[in-house]
Structure 1
Amino acid sequence: MSSVVYVLSTVTGYVLTSALLLKCPTLLRQRKRETFRSRHISHRGGAGENLENTMAAFRHAVKLGTDMLELDCHLTRDEQVVVLHDSNLKRSTGINAYISDVAYADLPPYLCKLGVTFKRECFCEGGDDEQIPLLKDVFEAFPSTPVNIDIKVNNDTLIKKVSELVIQYDREHLTVWGNSRNEIVKKCYKENPRIPLLFSLPRVLLLLGLFYTGLLPFVPLKEQFLEIPMPSIVSKLRAPEHQTRSQRFITWLADMLLMRKALFDHLKGRGIQVYVWVLNDEEDFKRAFDLGATGIMTDYPTKLKEFLEKNNYTATLK
């Protein structure tokens, strides 16, 4: 009987300690230093308002007062770091070639009309700017704007050159980088541990496991940014009649597990920012902020700005 009482008291003590540290993480761990905080994040520069990942899109978003530009990087055949989402140029330029096989000077222009990935049956028609930019162009044009870099391929040279550009333009305190693939994030951290990291997908899954077992407060985290989708938006990207019952269940389950205010609040208490992507409707903006997200990534920076102003979040905008 005494052994049962001992086990129960031990479990109770663990649960209470875990709950306390979940609410008050700085009792155990020092809060990470934040050099910037982003509430308004422009996905690919605002792919719903200008051609994605172009200088025109970035200029528009910065003029609106975005807190952060999100972009994607690849390497050309002549080892230039370019801002582009896909490894193949077909979707964006109409030319069926891989970016790694084409020299920068030979890159074709963007198509004048591109689909908006996270808005069903929506397209963006661009203006005069159809050029694929270099990463250094972005750094030179917006020296004080935080940039979120998705390293799109597992390429040591790409990672090294991005780090060199970040150092050259004195942006280690204004940059976050990573990818959903853990091997890429590990290489980023090894190349330059001073640039803040995003959680990879395996690390997100580990994070959830630690959270639901109560172990999260006891485990150190090297990452400084959790960047996750809101699974419920799948219903807006794909018609319900085109989803199976199992797909709808998986979406519901993923949403229930990921969108947790207690998790977001704990991470924020440790100085880890939480970004939710890619949200393009006011109801999703509201839900993310109600859950405690520090920032929202959107294809429509004007719409998000108007939402922030209407809901008295203007203090976070420049």
Structure 2
Amino acid sequence: MCAAMYVLSTVTGYVLTSALLFKCPSLLHRRKRETFRSRHISHRGGAGENLENTMAAFRHAVQLGTDMLELDCHITKDQQVVVSHDAYLKRSTGISAYISELAYAELPSYLCKLDVTFQKECYCEGGEDQRIPLLKDVFEAFPQTPINIDIKVNDDILIKKVSDLVMKYDREHLTVWGNSSSKIVQKCYKENPRIPILFSLKRVLMLVGLFYTGLLPFVPLKEQFLEIPMPSIITKLKDPNSMTKSQRFLTWLADTLLMRKALFDHLTARGIQVYVWVLNDEEDFKRAFDLGATGVMTDYPTKLKEFMERQSTST
């Protein structure tokens, strides 16, 4: 009887402590310092309004007042850091070659028409700017704009070069970097721990597990940004009739597990920003912000800006 009472009191104490720390994590963890806060994030510079990852796209987004540019990096044969999503250039340029096989001067231009990955059956037709830019071009053009860098390949030279550029342009306080790969994120952190990092996929899964077991409030986190998809948008990108029952169930399950206000609120209280991607419809913008997301990443920066303006005037 005494043993049972002891176990019960221990479990009760744990549950109450966990609940308290969920609401007040500062009791155990010092809140991370935020050097910037981003609500409006332009995915690939706004791939639905300008050709993705071009200077024209970045310029347009910054002129609109975006809080952050999201972009992707690779390294060329002559070790230049370039801004491009794909390692293999066929989709974006029509040329069958890898970026790593070509010198920067040999890189082809983007096609004048590119698909918008996260908007079903939509394309973007660009203007005169079809050049694959250097990362340093972006840093020089937008010295005060926070930039979210996706390190697309596990390459030590690429990681070091990006870190060197971040330091050269004094952007450690305006940059976040990482990838879904835990190996890449670990290398980024080891190369330059002063640049904030994203949660890798492995760490996201760990985060979710800790959240549902009640252990999250007790665990220190070195990451400063959680960047996750809203799984429900898959039903907008695919024909629902083409999805099997198991696919629909897994989508629903992933959405239910990830899109949790209590999780977002706890992380925000610890100074960890939560970005939801890639949202292109107003109903999804609203859902993300209602759940407590810090920011929304979109291919349509104009649409997101107009939505946010309407929301601010109606409150």
Q: Kindly report structure 1 stretches of 4+ aligned residues shifted beyond 6 Å.
A: none
Partner residue of 1:28?
Answer: 28
Partner residue of 1:235?
Answer: 235
- Partners in 2 of 1:59 and 1:82 — Cα distance? 17
What amino acid does structure 2 have at the position aligned with 1:20? L
What amino acid does structure 1 have at the position aligned with 2:186? K
- Partners in 2 of 1:255 and 1:5 — Cα distance? 38
Q: Does 1:309 align with 2:313?
A: no
Aligned pair count reads: 314
Partner residue of 2:5?
Answer: 5
| Structure 1 segment 1-318 matched on structure 2, within 5 A | 1-312=1-312
Q: Could you list the runs of 5+ residues in structure 1 that have no partner in the other structure?
A: none
Q: TM-score, normalised by structure 2?
A: 0.99
- Partners in 1 of 2:72 and 2:203 — Cα distance? 20
- Partners in 2 of 1:88 and 1:103 — Cα distance? 14
Deviation at 1:313, TM superposition (A): 7.6
Deviation at 1:2, TM superposition (A): 1.3
Task: Describe the superposition over 1:204-228 as per-residue Cα deviations: whole angstroms up to 9, x where unpaired.
Answer: 0000111111111111100000000
What amino acid does structure 2 have at the position aligned with 1:305? K
Task: Describe the superposition over 1:96-120 as per-residue Cα deviations: whole angstroms up to 9, x where unpaired.
Answer: 1000001100111000000000000
Deviation at 1:66, TM superposition (A): 0.1
Q: 1:173 to 1:59 in 2, by over 3 A?
A: same
- Partners in 2 of 1:242 and 1:176 — Cα distance? 37
Deviation at 1:9, TM superposition (A): 1.0
Taking only the aligned residue pairs, the percentage that are identical comes to 81
Deviation at 1:246, TM superposition (A): 0.2
Structure 1 stretch 163-172 or stretch 305-314: which is displaced more? Answer: 305-314
What amino acid does structure 2 have at the position aligned with 1:213? T
SS at match of 1:311: helix
SS at match of 2:73: strand
Deviation at 1:5, TM superposition (A): 1.1
Task: Describe the superposition over 1:111-166 as per-residue Cα deviations: whole angstroms up to 9, x where unpaired.
Answer: 00000000000000000000000000000000000000000000000000000000
Deviation at 1:247, TM superposition (A): 0.4
Deviation at 1:242, TM superposition (A): 1.1
Task: Describe the superposition over 1:4-23 as per-residue Cα deviations: whole angstroms up to 9, x where unpaired.
Answer: 11111110110110011001
Q: CA RMSD in A?
A: 0.8
- Partners in 2 of 1:126 and 1:8 — Cα distance? 65
SS at match of 1:274: strand
- Partners in 1 of 2:20 and 2:104 — Cα distance? 54
Q: 1:203 to 1:231 in 2, by over 3 A?
A: same
Task: Describe the superposition over 1:36-75 as per-residue Cα deviations: whole angstroms up to 9, x where unpaired.
Answer: 0000000000000000000000000000000000000000
Task: Describe the superposition over 1:214-263 as per-residue Cα deviations: whole angstroms up to 9, x where unpaired.
Answer: 11111110000000000000000001011110000000000000000000
SS at match of 1:247: helix
- Partners in 1 of 2:44 and 2:231 — Cα distance? 20
SS at match of 1:312: helix
